[in-house]
Copies of this chain bind each other. A is one copy, B any other.
């Protein structure tokens, strides 16, 4: 079983009627629902306004893959929790950053750059599969389409992805590296662009398939106890004799 925690700001869904209509129980609940249908996945949720943002040590210690959705309140995430999430990824936990998390605290700590990009309001988006044999693209056709999505455009300030899975086309004239994989420490990181709160993107079957694939791709074999710098008293070579 893969233990997944879906984390969400869960603010827009309470303050905005349109968002509430699309995600009545929150984006996290929508994502948890479709993931929960997979027999290999065991899912829970956590949100910004819970104590410790819902990410107690007990929760984190039992999370194999965390999915992160945030937008307008990244700065309210405590540095301490962001650091704990970051450290756990380095020890093996998978991290999936959705949409506006291009500037989320734990994501930025993992990639090392600013995550800057250009953006625009709703447009038609087509995500091209550029790495067709990648496990995250399994079961997809040549591309996936979304009728209306907030536009994110290049130049996107990220380190060169270890693997690039999707590039988006927007009708208005922009492109974007929409599905990016990085290895960080023992953990795997996936950034996936779509999912503005005012669009029903996480209800789209192909989007659900991609996120489910990403969870399985990011799931670790093992999460190690700690990362440190051991001192070696006697060299392994010397010890051989």
Contacts and interface: CB of A to CB of B under 8 A. Distances in A.
Given A133-B222, A235-B120, A128 B114 contact: no
A184 interface: yes
A232 B118 contact: yes
A117 to B, nearest CB: 6
B237 A172 contact: yes
A129 B157 CA distance: 11
A73 interface: no
Interface in A80-114: 87, 90, 92, 103, 109-114
A132 B155 CA distance: 7
Interface range, A side: 35 or more
Interface stretch (A13-21, A25-33, A174-182, A190-198): A174-182
Give the one of A90, A111, A154, A238 with max B CB within 10 A: A154
Contact of A154 (B92, B112, B130, B135): B130
Interface in A156-211: 156-157, 159-160, 162-164, 167-175, 177, 182-187
A42 to B, nearest CB: 21
A167 B185 contact: no
A1 interface: no
Contacts of A156: 130
A50 interface: no
A90 B118 contact: no
B162 A169 contact: no
B132 A236 contact: no
A227 interface: yes
Interface in A111-148: 111-114, 116-120, 123, 126, 128-133, 135, 138, 142-143
